């Protein structure tokens, strides 16, 4: 793969061995307390779930539109899949990349599961207030204030999504998994150390890892936007210390399957691996050739990863 397209090397010069040696930043004082307090606040929210049966089936599921209440008077929107036949044996909350989502992912190998596909505030189906749906602006929303920064609200939307799933399908309690890719991989790493209701986790090319490197290593997309803003407003680095997915991973004890890329223009590989390396619980690495970039082996690797995901969650 060539770096000519980007004007920088998306490996940033890291070898495989060096990636596995990247350490997460130490947590700032009050880090765990900050996140536990946010989690407790989100759990007090009544999700007030609303479902609309679309009257359609897809693969092994019935398809519903869903909305539920989160913090700050946000109504999160998304899709819910329920098995066509019988009650669900397990449940999943499924995130999305920074482009949001408009529908469910029907390729997942979980015909016996309830799957809640949520859109975090400001993105995809969940347009909200003054929050921009453009990733380069969304990632900056209230970045000056750690108590109001949009990524904290997105973690709230994940937690209240778990509450909504359990309200609809109480039988899956104790058997809930999470799948997050890119944006939602990073949000998952931030949110899930504090939520014991989620038993197993998959993070695919997760972002927001190792914020000092994220501010320094050339990147495209939302990371570049944060770099430009921080160059003019250096104090935001203090906010970002509380939203470092690698720092949070030090507290994540659930079994986790992480797919991390060695070449990625949008999410620096060193940040992805910093998250994996810091995970405190049982962990499995699925190395990807690249992320946020098309490559010849992509389809084969994605199929292999899907088989690994199926195996990883089989006993959920």
Q: Give the orientation angle of helix 183-191 with respect to helix 150-168, to 10 degrees.
A: 80
DSSP E strand boundaries for 246-304: 256-261, 283-288
Task: Indicate the burial class of 188 (C-beta count within 10 angstroms; 0-12, 13-18, 19 or more).
Answer: buried
pLDDT for 53 beyond 80: yes
Average pLDDT over residues 128-157: 97
Average pLDDT along the chain:
97
Q: Tell me what the mean pLDDT of segment 23-29 comes to.
A: 98
The answer to whether residue 132 scores a pLDDT higher than 70 is yes
Which tens digit of pLDDT belongs to each residue from 188-207? 999 999 999 999 999 999 99
Mean pLDDT of 251-260: 98
Alpha helices per DSSP H over 169-288: 183-191, 211-216, 221-232, 236-241, 245-249, 269-278
SS3 call for 180: strand
* Tokens found for residue 314: 């089989």
Q: What pLDDT does 2 receive?
A: 61
| In contact, 75 and 188? CB cutoff 8 Å | no
Q: Supply the pLDDT for residue 191.
A: 98
In the structure encoding, which two tokens stand for residue 219, read together? 């990147």
How far apart CA 155 and CA 12 sit, in angstroms, is 29
Taking 80 as the threshold, does the pLDDT of residue 95 lie above it? Answer: yes
Domain at 22-309, CATH from 3.40.50.1820, 3.55.50.30, 3.40.140.10, 3.30.70.870: 3.40.50.1820
Per the CB < 8 A criterion, the answer to whether 208 and 98 are in contact is no
Q: Cα(312)–Cα(18) distance, rounded to whole angstroms?
A: 26
Express as a percent the part of the chain with pLDDT over 70: 99
Tell me if the pTM is above 0.95: yes
Q: What is the mean pLDDT of residues 115-136?
A: 96
CB atoms within 10 A of CB 259: 24
C-alpha angle 316/303/256, rounded to 5°?
Answer: 35
pLDDT digits 0-9 by tens, 79-90: 999 999 899 999
**Looking up tokens 């940033």, which residue turns up?**
12
The pLDDT score that the predictor gives to residue 91 is: 98
In the chain, the percentage of residues whose pLDDT exceeds 90 is 97
User: 3-state DSSP helix/strand/coil percent for the chain, to nearest 5?
Assistant: 35, 20, 45
Query: Span 295-309, mean pLDDT?
Result: 97
In whole angstroms, what is the distance from residue 185 CA to residue 191 CA?
Answer: 10
Quote the tokens at residue 125.
Answer: 């189906």
Our measurement of the distance from residue 25's CA atom to the centroid of its chain's CA atoms, rounded to an integer in Å, reads: 19
Q: Residue 5: what pLDDT?
A: 82
Q: Mapping DSSP to helix (H, G, I), strand (E, B) and coil, where does residue 102 land?
A: coil
Q: What does the alpha-carbon distance between residue 315 and residue 175 come to, in Å, rounded to a whole number? A: 9
**Buried-state track 199-212, b at ≥16 Cβ within 10 A, e below 16:** bbbbbbbbbbbbbe
Q: pLDDT at residue 4 above 70?
A: no
Which residues lie below 8 Å from residue 75, measured CB to CB, with a gap of 6+? 67, 68, 69, 126, 128
């Amino acid at each position: 793969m060539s770096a000519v397209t980007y004007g920088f090397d998306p490996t940033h010069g890291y070898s495989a061995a060096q990636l596995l040696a990247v350490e997460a930043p130490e947590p700032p004082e009050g880090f765990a307390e900050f996140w536990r307090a946010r989690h407790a606040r989100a759990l007090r929210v009544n999700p007030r779930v609303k479902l609309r049966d679309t009257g359609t089936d897809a693969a092994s599921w019935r398809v519903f539109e869903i909305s539920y209440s989160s913090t700050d008077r946000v109504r999160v929107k998304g899709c819910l899949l329920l098995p066509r036949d019988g009650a669900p044996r397990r449940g999943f909350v499924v995130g999305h990349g920074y482009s949001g989502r408009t529908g469910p992912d029907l390729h997942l190998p979980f015909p016996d599961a309830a799957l809640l596909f949520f859109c975090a505030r400001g993105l995809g189906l969940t347009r909200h207030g003054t929050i921009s749906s453009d990733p380069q602006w969304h990632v900056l929303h209230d970045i000056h204030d750690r108590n109001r920064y949009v990524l904290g609200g997105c973690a709230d939307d994940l937690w209240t999504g778990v509450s909504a799933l359990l309200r609809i399908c109480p039988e899956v309690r104790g058997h809930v998994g999470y799948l997050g890719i890119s944006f939602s991989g990073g949000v998952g790493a931030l949110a899930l150390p504090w939520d014991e209701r989620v038993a197993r986790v998959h993070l695919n090319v997760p972002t927001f890892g190792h914020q000092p490197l994220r501010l320094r290593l050339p990147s495209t997309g939302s990371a570049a936007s944060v770099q430009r803003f921080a160059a003019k407003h250096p104090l935001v680095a203090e906010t970002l210390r509380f939203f470092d997915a690698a720092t949070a991973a030090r507290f994540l004890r659930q079994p986790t399957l992480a797919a991390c890329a060695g070449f990625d223009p949008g999410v620096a590989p060193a940040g992805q691996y910093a998250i994996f390396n810091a995970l405190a619980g049982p962990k499995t690495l699925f190395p990807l050739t690249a992320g946020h970039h098309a490559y010849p082996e992509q389809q084969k690797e994605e199929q292999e990863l899907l088989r690994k995901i199926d195996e990883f969650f089989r006993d959920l």
